[in-house]
Amino acid sequence: MKKVLLLIVLVSLVLISCGNYKQSRSEKDTVAVTTDSLRSKSGYSNVNGLKMYYEIYGAEHPGKPLVLIHGGGSTIQSTIGRVIPMFARHRKLIAVELQAHGRTSDRNTDLSFQRDADDVVTLLGNLHVDKADFFGFSNGGTTALQIAIRHPEIVNKIIAASALCKRNGVPSWFWGFMKKQRLENMPDQLKEAYLKVSLDTAGLRVMHDKDVKRMLDFKNIPDEQLKAIKAPTLIIIGDRDLITPEHAIGMHRLIANSELAIIPGGHGEYIGEITTLKPGYKESDFVAVPLIENFLDKKEPPTTGD
């Protein structure tokens, strides 16, 4: 049976789930650990005409890696920098930066979720990874869905966090808002995160403009493609997300082997996306992490024939 996890303001359950992370809470609660101090390896790989940047954490952990895919207009650190130390305690991580984002180069093509999916899979081939779990946030979540659609052979499990697959999955005002977007309106936190890893101010505008164009050109993922996803899938949104609950429920109904979690917070607040951070934030604020850990650790029942 499909399972709908409605985790609305269930703080006590969240704190219980976070029990595995209560190592030296007085030190850990402020998330003082930096991704730089944990990184096992970072580098570039030649991927379909790109110099694609990646980072590896927790290389000592056995098993399938978890591939982390950032959101639009973002870098590894601006989307998932707060939760990498939490995930890296238990598993190997491969974090990527997509075309024109952060430290990855651009090419003479528009951005495409399908091309991003192919780029991630090519990178994993270069790193000799033949099977992985995938976590994608926002645009990265849509990319993760495209990986499951286009490259099912490499997918173990998918976490699609605040991912869009239908144009009606966001409020109608969103599309008019996107038409008016200019670099000057981009959140300062995202501009600063880009310029922290790349001094190419022209590249900042390229990333912004290509991201906006991709969203304006966005086309629905056909129902048949979503129905074809066989990998266990966890769909996450916040209860104050840009993505509507109706959209998440519709996606859940189309993907047969899926679970749905609606959890406290806005768009990315549940993982500490940089524009959502509040002063004095703590690890326990990032309520999606124990949920994702439990989903990834859960043993799937063996499949049987008719």
pLDDT of residue 23: 37
302 falls within a domain:
no
Q: Can you give the pLDDT of all 306 residues of the chain as single tens digits?
A: 444 444 433 333 333 334 343 333 333 444 445 677 777 899 999 999 999 999 999 999 999 999 999 999 999 999 999 999 999 999 999 999 999 999 999 999 999 999 999 999 999 999 999 999 999 999 999 999 999 999 999 999 999 999 999 999 999 999 999 999 999 999 999 999 999 999 888 999 999 999 999 999 999 999 999 999 999 999 999 999 999 999 999 999 999 999 999 999 999 999 999 999 999 999 999 999 999 999 999 987 765 544
Q: Return d(Cα 88, Cα 293) in angstroms, integer.
A: 11
Q: Return d(Cα 254, Cα 131) in angstroms, integer.
A: 24
**In the chain, how many domains are there?**
1
274 falls within a domain:
yes
* C-alpha closest to that of 90 among 290, 301, 299: 290
43 falls within a domain:
yes
99: number of Cβ within 10 Å: 22
Q: Are 47 and 119 in contact (CB under 8 A)?
A: yes
Query: Which residues, 6+ apart, have CB-to-CB distance to 58 below 8 Å?
Result: 38, 40, 87, 88, 89, 90, 91, 92, 93
Q: Which two tokens stand for residue 100?
A: 């024109």
305 falls within a domain:
no
| Helix, strand, coil percentages for the chain (3-state, nearest 5) | 40, 20, 40
> What is the sign of the dihedral through the CA atoms of 143, 144, 148 and 152?
positive
Q: Are 9 and 263 in contact (CB under 8 A)?
A: no
Token pair 């024109």 is found at 100
Angle between helices 113-126 and 139-150 (to 10 degrees): 70
Domain span at residue 29 reads 3-297
pLDDT of residue 38: 78
183 falls within a domain:
yes
The CATH code of the domain that includes 194 is 3.40.50.1820
Token pair 């859940």 is found at 252
Question: HSE on the CB side for 213, CA within 13 Å?
Answer: 10
Q: Which two tokens stand for residue 118?
A: 């192919």
pLDDT of residue 39: 75
Angle between helices 188-197 and 201-216 (to 10 degrees): 130
Classify residue 111 as exposed, middle or buried by CB count within 10 Å of its CB (0-12, 13-18, 19+).
buried
Output the CA torsion 8→10→15→21 (10° steps).
Answer: -20
Query: Which residues, 6+ apart, have CB-to-CB distance to 84 below 8 Å?
Result: 35, 38, 57, 68, 76, 93, 95
Q: Return d(Cα 40, Cα 225) in angstroms, integer.
A: 36
304 falls within a domain:
no
102 falls within a domain:
yes
pLDDT of residue 199: 84
Query: Which residues, 6+ apart, have CB-to-CB distance to 110 below 8 Å?
Result: 210, 213, 214, 217
172 falls within a domain:
yes
pLDDT of residue 34: 60
